[in-house]
A and B are shown apart, each in its own frame.
Chain A
Amino acid sequence: MKESIKRISGEEISQAVASLYSGACIGPHFAVEEKLTGILAGESAGPGREALEIEIHNLRVAAETRLPICQDTGTAMVFVELGNLVCIPDSTLANAVNRGISRACEMSYLRPSQVFPPLGNRTNTMNNTPAIIHLEHVSGSEIRIRVLAKGAGSENVSSSVMLPPLAGARGIIDLAESCVRAGASKACPPVIVGIGIGGNLETSGILAKKALLRELGEENSAPELRDLEKQITDRLNETGIGPQGFGGKTTVMETRILQQACHMASLPVTVCIECHAHRTASCVL
Protein backbone atom coordinates (compact mmCIF):
# COMPACT_ATOMS: atom_id res chain seq x y z
CA MET A 1 0.00 0.00 0.00
CA LYS A 2 1.31 3.39 -0.97
CA GLU A 3 0.86 5.99 1.76
CA SER A 4 0.54 9.57 0.57
CA ILE A 5 1.96 12.58 2.31
CA LYS A 6 -0.56 15.12 3.64
CA ARG A 7 0.51 18.75 3.43
CA ILE A 8 -0.71 21.11 6.15
CA SER A 9 0.37 24.73 6.00
CA GLY A 10 1.79 26.68 8.91
CA GLU A 11 -1.15 29.08 8.56
CA GLU A 12 -3.70 26.28 9.04
CA ILE A 13 -1.93 25.32 12.26
CA SER A 14 -1.75 28.96 13.42
CA GLN A 15 -5.49 29.42 12.81
CA ALA A 16 -6.33 26.25 14.69
CA VAL A 17 -4.10 27.15 17.64
CA ALA A 18 -5.51 30.71 17.84
CA SER A 19 -9.05 29.39 17.90
CA LEU A 20 -8.22 26.69 20.48
CA TYR A 21 -6.39 29.07 22.82
CA SER A 22 -9.22 31.66 22.69
CA GLY A 23 -11.79 28.92 23.17
CA ALA A 24 -9.90 27.46 26.14
CA CYS A 25 -9.68 30.87 27.86
CA ILE A 26 -13.26 31.99 27.21
CA GLY A 27 -15.34 28.83 26.90
CA PRO A 28 -18.09 27.76 26.97
CA HIS A 29 -16.94 24.73 28.99
CA PHE A 30 -20.12 22.72 29.45
CA ALA A 31 -18.38 19.67 30.95
CA VAL A 32 -16.69 21.78 33.65
CA GLU A 33 -19.95 23.58 34.38
CA GLU A 34 -21.79 20.28 34.68
CA LYS A 35 -19.11 18.85 36.96
CA LEU A 36 -19.15 21.90 39.26
CA THR A 37 -22.96 21.90 39.31
CA GLY A 38 -22.89 18.27 40.42
CA ILE A 39 -20.44 19.16 43.20
CA LEU A 40 -22.66 22.08 44.27
CA ALA A 41 -25.55 19.69 44.90
CA GLY A 42 -23.45 17.92 47.55
CA GLU A 43 -22.20 21.03 49.36
CA SER A 44 -24.02 22.36 52.42
CA ALA A 45 -24.71 26.05 53.12
CA GLY A 46 -21.73 28.28 53.83
CA PRO A 47 -19.10 30.41 52.11
CA GLY A 48 -17.61 27.41 50.25
CA ARG A 49 -20.94 26.69 48.59
CA GLU A 50 -21.48 30.40 47.86
CA ALA A 51 -18.05 30.63 46.21
CA LEU A 52 -18.83 27.56 44.09
CA GLU A 53 -22.04 29.28 42.93
CA ILE A 54 -19.93 32.28 41.89
CA GLU A 55 -17.47 30.01 40.02
CA ILE A 56 -20.35 28.45 38.04
CA HIS A 57 -22.01 31.80 37.38
CA ASN A 58 -18.66 33.18 36.17
CA LEU A 59 -18.34 30.45 33.52
CA ARG A 60 -21.68 31.58 32.08
CA VAL A 61 -20.77 35.27 32.26
CA ALA A 62 -17.51 34.56 30.39
CA ALA A 63 -19.29 32.69 27.60
CA GLU A 64 -21.90 35.46 27.27
CA THR A 65 -19.56 38.47 27.43
CA ARG A 66 -16.63 36.77 25.59
CA LEU A 67 -14.39 37.91 28.46
CA PRO A 68 -11.76 35.41 29.62
CA ILE A 69 -12.98 33.18 32.45
CA CYS A 70 -9.96 34.28 34.47
CA GLN A 71 -7.68 37.28 33.93
CA ASP A 72 -4.72 34.90 34.11
CA THR A 73 -5.05 33.40 30.65
CA GLY A 74 -2.15 31.24 31.60
CA THR A 75 1.00 29.89 30.12
CA ALA A 76 -0.12 28.57 26.73
CA MET A 77 0.61 24.84 26.71
CA VAL A 78 0.25 23.12 23.35
CA PHE A 79 0.36 19.33 23.01
CA VAL A 80 0.83 18.17 19.45
CA GLU A 81 0.51 14.65 18.09
CA LEU A 82 2.08 14.86 14.66
CA GLY A 83 1.32 12.08 12.19
CA ASN A 84 4.33 10.65 10.36
CA LEU A 85 2.63 11.30 7.00
CA VAL A 86 2.15 15.00 7.67
CA CYS A 87 4.44 17.56 6.09
CA ILE A 88 4.42 21.26 7.09
CA PRO A 89 6.33 22.62 4.10
CA ASP A 90 6.37 26.32 4.91
CA SER A 91 6.92 26.64 8.65
CA THR A 92 8.42 25.03 11.70
CA LEU A 93 5.82 23.72 14.11
CA ALA A 94 7.00 26.11 16.84
CA ASN A 95 6.65 29.17 14.60
CA ALA A 96 3.18 28.14 13.47
CA VAL A 97 2.04 27.50 17.07
CA ASN A 98 3.49 30.74 18.43
CA ARG A 99 1.86 32.78 15.66
CA GLY A 100 -1.47 31.27 16.70
CA ILE A 101 -0.94 32.05 20.39
CA SER A 102 0.09 35.62 19.65
CA ARG A 103 -2.93 36.11 17.36
CA ALA A 104 -5.36 34.79 19.99
CA CYS A 105 -3.81 37.05 22.60
CA GLU A 106 -4.42 40.10 20.41
CA MET A 107 -7.80 39.18 18.88
CA SER A 108 -9.43 37.88 22.06
CA TYR A 109 -7.88 40.35 24.52
CA LEU A 110 -6.11 37.67 26.51
CA ARG A 111 -3.62 38.79 29.13
CA PRO A 112 0.04 38.66 28.13
CA SER A 113 1.74 37.09 31.13
CA GLN A 114 5.08 35.80 29.80
CA VAL A 115 8.16 37.75 30.91
CA PHE A 116 11.81 37.54 29.88
CA PRO A 117 14.41 37.30 31.24
CA PRO A 118 13.03 35.54 34.33
CA LEU A 119 15.63 37.32 36.49
CA GLY A 120 16.18 41.07 36.42
CA ASN A 121 13.77 43.30 34.52
CA ARG A 122 11.28 40.57 33.58
CA THR A 123 9.95 42.38 30.48
CA ASN A 124 6.54 41.23 29.26
CA THR A 125 6.70 39.68 25.76
CA MET A 126 3.21 41.22 25.26
CA ASN A 127 1.78 38.35 23.23
CA ASN A 128 2.02 35.39 25.62
CA THR A 129 4.65 33.67 23.54
CA PRO A 130 6.63 31.53 23.70
CA ALA A 131 4.11 28.75 24.17
CA ILE A 132 5.29 25.54 25.80
CA ILE A 133 5.03 22.85 23.14
CA HIS A 134 5.13 19.09 23.70
CA LEU A 135 5.46 17.11 20.49
CA GLU A 136 4.73 13.43 19.96
CA HIS A 137 5.41 11.75 16.63
CA VAL A 138 2.61 9.26 15.91
CA SER A 139 1.57 7.20 12.91
CA GLY A 140 -1.01 8.59 10.51
CA SER A 141 -1.82 11.62 8.40
CA GLU A 142 -3.34 13.93 11.00
CA ILE A 143 -2.22 16.49 13.53
CA ARG A 144 -4.00 16.44 16.88
CA ILE A 145 -3.61 19.66 18.84
CA ARG A 146 -4.59 20.11 22.47
CA VAL A 147 -4.27 23.44 24.29
CA LEU A 148 -4.21 23.96 28.04
CA ALA A 149 -4.24 27.52 29.42
CA LYS A 150 -2.37 26.88 32.65
CA GLY A 151 -2.71 29.56 35.31
CA ALA A 152 0.16 30.41 37.63
CA GLY A 153 -1.86 30.32 40.85
CA SER A 154 -2.29 26.57 40.56
CA GLU A 155 1.09 25.95 38.91
CA ASN A 156 2.89 27.65 41.83
CA VAL A 157 1.57 25.11 44.32
CA SER A 158 2.51 22.08 42.17
CA SER A 159 5.59 20.02 42.98
CA SER A 160 8.14 17.69 41.37
CA VAL A 161 10.03 15.32 43.66
CA MET A 162 12.45 12.40 43.32
CA LEU A 163 11.01 9.95 45.86
CA PRO A 164 12.91 6.92 47.20
CA PRO A 165 12.28 4.08 44.69
CA LEU A 166 10.20 2.01 47.09
CA ALA A 167 8.08 4.88 48.48
CA GLY A 168 5.08 3.22 46.78
CA ALA A 169 1.48 4.39 46.74
CA ARG A 170 1.90 5.72 50.29
CA GLY A 171 4.63 8.11 49.12
CA ILE A 172 2.46 9.38 46.25
CA ILE A 173 -0.59 9.92 48.47
CA ASP A 174 1.46 11.79 51.09
CA LEU A 175 3.03 14.04 48.46
CA ALA A 176 -0.37 14.87 46.94
CA GLU A 177 -1.74 15.62 50.41
CA SER A 178 1.13 17.91 51.35
CA CYS A 179 0.73 19.87 48.07
CA VAL A 180 -3.01 20.26 48.55
CA ARG A 181 -2.85 21.14 52.26
CA ALA A 182 -0.16 23.74 51.69
CA GLY A 183 -1.47 25.26 48.49
CA ALA A 184 -5.03 24.38 47.50
CA SER A 185 -6.61 27.57 48.87
CA LYS A 186 -4.35 29.58 46.52
CA ALA A 187 -5.16 27.41 43.49
CA CYS A 188 -8.89 28.23 43.13
CA PRO A 189 -10.40 24.89 44.21
CA PRO A 190 -12.13 22.56 43.61
CA VAL A 191 -8.96 21.53 41.79
CA ILE A 192 -7.98 18.67 39.50
CA VAL A 193 -4.84 16.81 40.60
CA GLY A 194 -2.64 15.51 37.78
CA ILE A 195 0.07 13.09 38.86
CA GLY A 196 2.95 11.87 36.72
CA ILE A 197 4.86 8.86 38.01
CA GLY A 198 8.07 7.55 36.48
CA GLY A 199 10.33 8.63 33.63
CA ASN A 200 12.91 11.02 35.01
CA LEU A 201 13.10 14.56 36.33
CA GLU A 202 11.41 16.27 33.35
CA THR A 203 9.13 13.47 32.14
CA SER A 204 7.19 13.14 35.40
CA GLY A 205 6.18 16.78 34.93
CA ILE A 206 5.06 16.23 31.35
CA LEU A 207 3.11 13.12 32.38
CA ALA A 208 1.34 15.10 35.12
CA LYS A 209 0.36 17.79 32.59
CA LYS A 210 -0.83 15.19 30.08
CA ALA A 211 -2.88 13.57 32.83
CA LEU A 212 -4.79 16.86 33.12
CA LEU A 213 -5.90 16.52 29.49
CA ARG A 214 -8.05 13.45 30.18
CA GLU A 215 -11.76 14.15 29.70
CA LEU A 216 -13.72 14.89 32.89
CA GLY A 217 -15.34 11.72 34.16
CA GLU A 218 -13.25 9.44 31.91
CA GLU A 219 -11.68 6.44 33.63
CA ASN A 220 -7.96 5.76 33.72
CA SER A 221 -7.05 3.27 30.99
CA ALA A 222 -4.74 1.54 33.52
CA PRO A 223 -7.09 -0.36 35.86
CA GLU A 224 -4.41 -0.61 38.60
CA LEU A 225 -4.32 3.20 38.87
CA ARG A 226 -8.09 3.76 39.16
CA ASP A 227 -8.22 2.72 42.79
CA LEU A 228 -5.22 4.89 43.68
CA GLU A 229 -6.83 7.90 41.98
CA LYS A 230 -9.99 7.40 44.02
CA GLN A 231 -8.03 6.92 47.24
CA ILE A 232 -6.17 10.17 46.66
CA THR A 233 -9.33 12.14 45.80
CA ASP A 234 -11.11 10.79 48.90
CA ARG A 235 -8.14 11.51 51.15
CA LEU A 236 -7.76 15.07 49.85
CA ASN A 237 -11.46 15.76 50.26
CA GLU A 238 -11.19 14.80 53.93
CA THR A 239 -9.15 17.98 54.44
CA GLY A 240 -12.36 20.03 54.30
CA ILE A 241 -10.50 22.85 52.47
CA GLY A 242 -13.42 23.15 50.03
CA PRO A 243 -14.18 25.58 47.19
CA GLN A 244 -11.79 28.58 47.30
CA GLY A 245 -10.49 27.21 50.63
CA PHE A 246 -13.70 28.44 52.35
CA GLY A 247 -14.61 24.98 53.69
CA GLY A 248 -16.60 22.18 52.10
CA LYS A 249 -16.76 18.58 51.01
CA THR A 250 -15.05 18.98 47.64
CA THR A 251 -11.48 20.27 47.44
CA VAL A 252 -10.55 17.97 44.56
CA MET A 253 -12.86 17.19 41.61
CA GLU A 254 -10.73 14.39 40.21
CA THR A 255 -7.27 12.86 40.44
CA ARG A 256 -5.62 11.60 37.24
CA ILE A 257 -2.43 9.55 37.10
CA LEU A 258 -0.15 8.75 34.17
CA GLN A 259 2.85 6.49 34.54
CA GLN A 260 5.86 5.23 32.59
CA ALA A 261 8.97 3.18 33.25
CA CYS A 262 11.76 4.66 35.36
CA HIS A 263 15.27 3.78 36.54
CA MET A 264 15.38 1.10 39.26
CA ALA A 265 17.02 3.59 41.62
CA SER A 266 14.39 6.32 41.15
CA LEU A 267 10.74 7.19 41.64
CA PRO A 268 10.21 10.58 39.97
CA VAL A 269 6.80 12.10 40.80
CA THR A 270 5.09 15.34 39.86
CA VAL A 271 1.85 16.52 41.42
CA CYS A 272 0.34 19.19 39.19
CA ILE A 273 -2.57 21.18 40.54
CA GLU A 274 -5.14 22.55 38.08
CA CYS A 275 -7.74 25.20 38.98
CA HIS A 276 -11.52 24.66 38.82
CA ALA A 277 -11.83 26.52 35.49
CA HIS A 278 -9.82 23.80 33.68
CA ARG A 279 -9.36 25.63 30.38
CA THR A 280 -8.67 23.16 27.60
CA ALA A 281 -9.57 22.79 23.93
CA SER A 282 -8.57 20.34 21.18
CA CYS A 283 -8.92 19.66 17.48
CA VAL A 284 -7.67 17.35 14.71
CA LEU A 285 -6.33 18.68 11.39
Chain B
Amino acid sequence: MRVVTLPASEETLKSLKAGEQILLSGSVATARDAAHNLMLNTGHVPFDVKSIPVFYMGPSPAPPGRVIGSSGPTTSARMEPFIPEMLKLGMKLVIGKGEMSDGTRKQFLQHGAVYLAATGGAGALASTKIVTRKIVAWEHLGPEAVSILELEELPVFVAWDLHGGSIYNRR
Protein backbone atom coordinates (compact mmCIF):
# COMPACT_ATOMS: atom_id res chain seq x y z
CA MET B 1 0.00 0.00 0.00
CA ARG B 2 1.43 3.37 -0.90
CA VAL B 3 2.06 6.19 1.52
CA VAL B 4 0.96 9.64 0.37
CA THR B 5 2.80 12.43 2.14
CA LEU B 6 1.13 15.81 2.52
CA PRO B 7 1.08 18.37 1.08
CA ALA B 8 0.27 16.35 -2.03
CA SER B 9 1.57 17.60 -5.39
CA GLU B 10 -0.75 18.02 -8.37
CA GLU B 11 0.95 15.00 -9.88
CA THR B 12 0.21 12.91 -6.78
CA LEU B 13 -3.44 14.00 -6.79
CA LYS B 14 -3.73 12.99 -10.46
CA SER B 15 -2.25 9.57 -9.71
CA LEU B 16 -4.94 8.70 -7.14
CA LYS B 17 -7.55 6.21 -8.39
CA ALA B 18 -11.03 5.78 -6.91
CA GLY B 19 -11.23 2.64 -4.78
CA GLU B 20 -7.54 2.65 -3.89
CA GLN B 21 -6.53 2.46 -0.21
CA ILE B 22 -3.64 4.75 0.70
CA LEU B 23 -1.81 5.64 3.91
CA LEU B 24 -1.89 9.36 4.57
CA SER B 25 0.93 11.16 6.39
CA GLY B 26 1.40 14.85 7.16
CA SER B 27 -0.71 17.81 8.27
CA VAL B 28 -4.50 18.04 8.04
CA ALA B 29 -6.98 20.50 9.57
CA THR B 30 -10.11 19.35 11.41
CA ALA B 31 -13.37 21.24 10.87
CA ARG B 32 -17.03 20.28 11.20
CA ASP B 33 -20.39 22.08 10.91
CA ALA B 34 -19.87 24.83 13.51
CA ALA B 35 -16.29 25.60 12.38
CA HIS B 36 -17.31 25.84 8.71
CA ASN B 37 -20.14 28.15 9.65
CA LEU B 38 -17.70 30.39 11.54
CA MET B 39 -14.97 30.25 8.87
CA LEU B 40 -17.31 31.33 6.11
CA ASN B 41 -19.22 33.90 8.16
CA THR B 42 -16.10 35.58 9.58
CA GLY B 43 -13.91 35.10 6.48
CA HIS B 44 -11.18 33.77 8.80
CA VAL B 45 -9.83 30.40 7.73
CA PRO B 46 -7.16 29.56 10.35
CA PHE B 47 -5.03 27.31 8.09
CA ASP B 48 -3.78 27.27 4.49
CA VAL B 49 -6.66 25.57 2.74
CA LYS B 50 -4.65 25.29 -0.51
CA SER B 51 -2.05 22.96 0.97
CA ILE B 52 -3.72 21.49 4.08
CA PRO B 53 -6.56 18.99 3.57
CA VAL B 54 -9.77 19.42 5.56
CA PHE B 55 -10.64 16.43 7.77
CA TYR B 56 -14.32 16.37 8.77
CA MET B 57 -13.76 15.14 12.31
CA GLY B 58 -14.52 16.03 15.94
CA PRO B 59 -12.53 13.82 18.32
CA SER B 60 -13.46 12.46 21.72
CA PRO B 61 -11.35 13.97 24.56
CA ALA B 62 -7.73 12.80 24.89
CA PRO B 63 -7.21 10.47 27.87
CA PRO B 64 -4.04 11.18 29.91
CA GLY B 65 -0.90 10.23 27.99
CA ARG B 66 -2.57 10.36 24.61
CA VAL B 67 -2.45 13.01 21.88
CA ILE B 68 -6.12 12.72 21.02
CA GLY B 69 -9.16 10.54 21.69
CA SER B 70 -11.13 8.52 19.16
CA SER B 71 -10.83 10.29 15.78
CA GLY B 72 -12.95 8.88 12.97
CA PRO B 73 -14.55 10.90 10.16
CA THR B 74 -17.99 12.48 10.34
CA THR B 75 -20.59 12.54 7.54
CA SER B 76 -19.30 14.69 4.67
CA ALA B 77 -22.75 15.41 3.21
CA ARG B 78 -23.50 17.79 6.11
CA MET B 79 -20.66 20.03 4.92
CA GLU B 80 -21.99 20.28 1.35
CA PRO B 81 -23.48 23.78 1.82
CA PHE B 82 -19.95 25.05 2.65
CA ILE B 83 -18.05 23.13 -0.02
CA PRO B 84 -18.48 25.53 -3.01
CA GLU B 85 -16.90 28.38 -1.03
CA MET B 86 -14.09 26.16 0.32
CA LEU B 87 -13.30 24.94 -3.22
CA LYS B 88 -13.15 28.56 -4.41
CA LEU B 89 -10.65 29.25 -1.64
CA GLY B 90 -8.47 26.52 -3.10
CA MET B 91 -9.33 23.36 -1.11
CA LYS B 92 -7.84 20.37 -2.95
CA LEU B 93 -8.33 17.46 -0.55
CA VAL B 94 -11.17 16.51 1.77
CA ILE B 95 -11.27 13.57 4.20
CA GLY B 96 -14.70 12.49 5.42
CA LYS B 97 -17.16 9.62 5.13
CA GLY B 98 -20.17 8.76 3.02
CA GLU B 99 -21.41 9.64 -0.42
CA MET B 100 -22.14 13.26 -1.40
CA SER B 101 -24.37 14.57 -4.21
CA ASP B 102 -23.58 14.48 -7.94
CA GLY B 103 -23.61 18.30 -7.91
CA THR B 104 -20.81 18.37 -5.34
CA ARG B 105 -18.92 15.74 -7.29
CA LYS B 106 -18.99 17.94 -10.42
CA GLN B 107 -17.62 20.84 -8.40
CA PHE B 108 -14.77 18.68 -7.07
CA LEU B 109 -13.90 17.79 -10.67
CA GLN B 110 -14.08 21.43 -11.83
CA HIS B 111 -11.73 22.54 -9.06
CA GLY B 112 -9.34 19.58 -9.34
CA ALA B 113 -10.16 18.39 -5.82
CA VAL B 114 -10.03 14.81 -4.52
CA TYR B 115 -12.39 13.29 -1.92
CA LEU B 116 -10.88 10.74 0.46
CA ALA B 117 -13.05 8.55 2.70
CA ALA B 118 -11.73 7.37 6.04
CA THR B 119 -13.45 4.39 7.68
CA GLY B 120 -16.48 5.64 9.61
CA GLY B 121 -16.69 4.27 13.13
CA ALA B 122 -13.00 3.32 13.19
CA GLY B 123 -12.01 6.16 15.49
CA ALA B 124 -9.83 4.21 17.93
CA LEU B 125 -7.59 2.96 15.14
CA ALA B 126 -7.41 6.47 13.60
CA SER B 127 -6.38 7.89 16.98
CA THR B 128 -3.29 5.69 16.97
CA LYS B 129 -2.25 7.23 13.62
CA ILE B 130 -2.23 10.82 14.91
CA VAL B 131 1.07 12.02 16.37
CA THR B 132 0.32 15.64 17.26
CA ARG B 133 -2.71 17.90 17.68
CA LYS B 134 -2.72 21.66 17.96
CA ILE B 135 -5.92 23.66 18.36
CA VAL B 136 -5.73 26.73 16.12
CA ALA B 137 -9.17 28.34 16.48
CA TRP B 138 -12.42 28.39 18.44
CA GLU B 139 -11.37 26.19 21.34
CA HIS B 140 -14.73 26.91 23.00
CA LEU B 141 -16.36 24.68 20.37
CA GLY B 142 -14.88 21.67 22.18
CA PRO B 143 -14.81 18.72 19.76
CA GLU B 144 -15.71 21.12 16.93
CA ALA B 145 -12.65 23.39 17.40
CA VAL B 146 -10.33 23.75 14.40
CA SER B 147 -7.09 21.85 14.98
CA ILE B 148 -4.05 20.85 12.98
CA LEU B 149 -3.17 17.17 13.17
CA GLU B 150 -0.01 15.42 12.11
CA LEU B 151 -0.95 12.06 10.63
CA GLU B 152 1.29 9.04 10.38
CA GLU B 153 -0.06 6.55 7.85
CA LEU B 154 -3.79 6.92 8.42
CA PRO B 155 -5.55 4.42 6.12
CA VAL B 156 -8.02 6.19 3.80
CA PHE B 157 -9.73 5.34 0.53
CA VAL B 158 -9.84 7.43 -2.65
CA ALA B 159 -13.59 8.10 -2.95
CA TRP B 160 -13.66 10.55 -5.89
CA ASP B 161 -10.62 10.90 -8.11
CA LEU B 162 -9.72 13.57 -10.69
CA HIS B 163 -10.77 11.35 -13.61
CA GLY B 164 -14.45 11.00 -12.76
CA GLY B 165 -14.04 7.76 -10.83
CA SER B 166 -16.09 7.08 -7.69
CA ILE B 167 -15.90 4.40 -5.01
CA TYR B 168 -19.69 4.69 -4.54
CA ASN B 169 -20.95 2.52 -7.36
CA ARG B 170 -24.04 0.52 -6.72
CA ARG B 171 -26.62 -1.58 -8.46
| Total chain B interface residues with beta-carbon distance under 8 A | 42
Interface residues on A, range: 35 or more
Is the CB–CB distance between A188 and B121 below 8 Å?
yes
When the two chains form their complex, are residues A65 and B124 in contact, meaning their CB atoms are under 8 A apart?
yes
CB-CB under 8 A from B168, the residues of chain A are: 185, 245-246
> Is the pair B75, A156 in contact by a Cβ cutoff of 8 Å?
yes
Determine how close the nearest CB of chain B comes to the CB of A276; give it in whole angstroms: 6
* A111, closest chain B residue (CB): B60
- Interface bits A260-284 vs B (CB < 8 Å: 1, else 0): 0000000000000001110000000
- B51 at the A/B interface (Cβ < 8 Å)? no
Q: How many residue-residue contacts, CB under 8 A, span A and B?
A: 148
Shortest distance in angstroms between B87's beta carbon and chain A's nearest beta carbon?
Answer: 20
CB distance from B81 to the nearest CB of A (A): 15
In the bound complex, do residue A244 and residue B124 qualify as a contact, i.e. CB atoms below 8 Å apart? no
Q: Which of B6-14, B40-48, B64-72, B102-110 contacts A (4 or more CB under 8 A)?
A: B64-72
For A185, the chain B residues whose CB sits under 8 A away are: 98-99, 168
B62 lies within 8 A of chain A by Cβ: yes
List of A residues within 8 angstroms of B127 by Cβ: 65, 67
Contacts from B to A (Cβ < 8 Å)? 19-21, 34, 57-63, 66, 69-72, 74-77, 97-99, 117, 119-125, 127-128, 142-143, 155, 157, 167-171
Closest 4 A/B residue pairs (Cβ): A186-B98, A188-B120, A62-B124, A58-B122
Q: Which residues from chain A sit less than 8 Å from chain B, CB to CB? A: 46-47, 50-51, 54-55, 57-58, 61-62, 65-73, 109-113, 122, 124, 126, 151, 153, 156, 181, 185-188, 238-241, 244-247, 275-277
